[in-house]
Structure formats: C-alpha cells, structure tokens
Amino acid sequence: MSETTRQLRFEIFRYNPEDADSEPHTDVFELEETPFMTLYIALNQIREKFDPGLQFDFACRSAICGSCAMMVNGRPALACRTLTSDLPDKICLYPLPVFKLIGDLSVDTGTWFRAMVERTEAWIHERLPFDPDATEERMSDDIAAAIYENDRCIECGCCVAACGAANIDSAFLAGAGLNRIARFQMDPRDQRTDADWFEVLASEQGVFACIGMMACEDVCPKELPLLDVYGYLRRKSLATALSSREK
C-alpha cells in the first residue's frame, strides 16, 4: 500500500420502513481509497463487494439530477460530487431528514417538491388568451439572466434538509420553494401581482418563517444565492404590506 492510500471506514444508516423486522441501525464497511474516488463510487463498491441490498439513489453522476443527496458527516451533500479525499477517514452517511425515508440512504424528495410546486403554482400565469400569431414579447437580458440563475436549482433537497425551520415544519417552503417563487415573481410574463404572492409569502410557511440559520446557501451544491432570494422576497412582501396599509 502506498503512503498516500487510506483505508476508509464508512458508517451507513440502514433501515427499511417497509419491513416490520427492520430496526434502524448503522453498518460499517471498509474500503481502500482510490484516486478521485467520490462517495458515489464508494457506495457502488460497497454494494458490489459487501451488500447488494444497500439502497441509495443516483442517475446522472454529474450534479445535474439532484437524486444522490445525503447527509455526509452531518452535512447535506451530493454523493456524486463529494470526493472522499475531502473527507476524514471515517465517513458517516445518513439519509436527508425532512423527506420520507424509502430505505437506507434513499428518500422521496419528489412528494415534497410536487407539494411545493402545487402550493406555489410554479408555472407561468398568463391571463391573456394564447394567440399563436402574436409577436413574442421581448425580455431584458438582465431579467432573463436573473431568472436563469434561479432556474439552476436541481431539486436535490440539500437546502431543505439543512433548514432548521423545515426540520420543525416540513411544509415550510425553505430555500428551494422560495427560490421558485422569486423566479416567477421576477418573470414579466407571469401576471400574478405582488398582492397575490403576499398570500403565500406571508403565510406561516412563507419567507418570514425562516429562523435565520442561513444554512441553505452554505449547502446548496449549485451555489444559488438563496440569501439574496430571501432578501428580495422580504423587501417585496414588506412593500406590499406597507402599500396596503396606506390605502
């Protein structure tokens, strides 16, 4: 073994909620680290060498699909993007909290994101009837770039899992949900007014329910500017509240 080769010790959460005999516990596996090993590679080796029943999710292996997020030494991260060389010899892997557990490291983020999309009606609300012959409206480059920035979210759920408010109330919209609102609130094609948005933003699960831990932006693998999103939505909401008092 070369001087630089490490023996990695993985402590992995195991539980199958569908099996009445299954009890939550951790299993320990040891692997020799290889160059450029990611957690995704390590988990596949563990599954091939030691336990074909180990459950975890992945699809793209390149930080695009958002399905491989898990708790890595207590912090949400993408398994496909995390190099073992950036971690200590002992690596603890747990499923993301807040989301429904499917088994071991696999969680159902889809139900949470679908509920968020339905609650925020995350699609363009165009009040004019569709006219296929109409000339396409122009959008300024700055607004298009700002919308594109928010649209980079891959729905991995890391910001939700890291969020103190979402861990208390899983219906809190959290970074991902509020980011989605900002995206549509900025879009000039969407004709919902600030007063319409106020209903959801000022609700118990809206932007003021954030308890200020600021973990969402820290853990977002796409480095979305979530704190700017919170600032934008709070300023908009306060302006709406003040203007309605003046009327």
Query: Angle 109-120/174-186 helices, nearest 10 degrees?
Result: 30
Residue number, 14 or 222, with CB nearest to ligand FES:
222
Stretch that binds ligand FES, among 43-51, 62-70, 94-102, 108-116 (CB under 6 A): 62-70
38 touches ligand FES (CB under 6 A):
no
Quick check: 177 binds ligand SF4 (CB under 6 A)? no
Nearest to 161 by CA among 176, 147, 151, 146: 176
- Position 43 contacts ligand FES (CB under 6 A): no
Residue 222's binding partner among ligand FES, ligand SF4, none (Cβ under 5 to 8 angstroms by kind) is ligand SF4
Q: Applying CB under 6 A, which part among 58-66, 108-116, 163-171, 176-184 lies near ligand FES?
A: 58-66
The one among 54, 77, 159, 207 contacting ligand SF4 by CB under 6 A: 159
Q: Which stretch binds ligand SF4 (CB under 6 A): 1-9, 38-46, 153-161, 191-199?
A: 153-161
Q: 72: how many CB neighbours lie within 10 A of its CB?
A: 18
Measured from the Cβ of residue 234, the count of other Cβ atoms closer than 10 Å reads 16
Alpha helix ranges (H) inside 121-207: 141-150, 158-162, 164-168, 174-186, 194-201
Give the one entry of ligand SF4, ligand FES, none that residue 181 binds, where binding means its C-beta sits below a cut-off of 5 to 8 angstroms depending on kind.
Answer: none
Alpha-carbon distance 19 to 24, whole Å? 11
CA 79 distance to own-chain centroid: 13
Cβ atoms of 214 and 231 within 8 Å: the answer is no
Which residues contact ligand SF4 (rule: CB under 6 A)? 153-159, 175-176, 179, 220, 222, 224
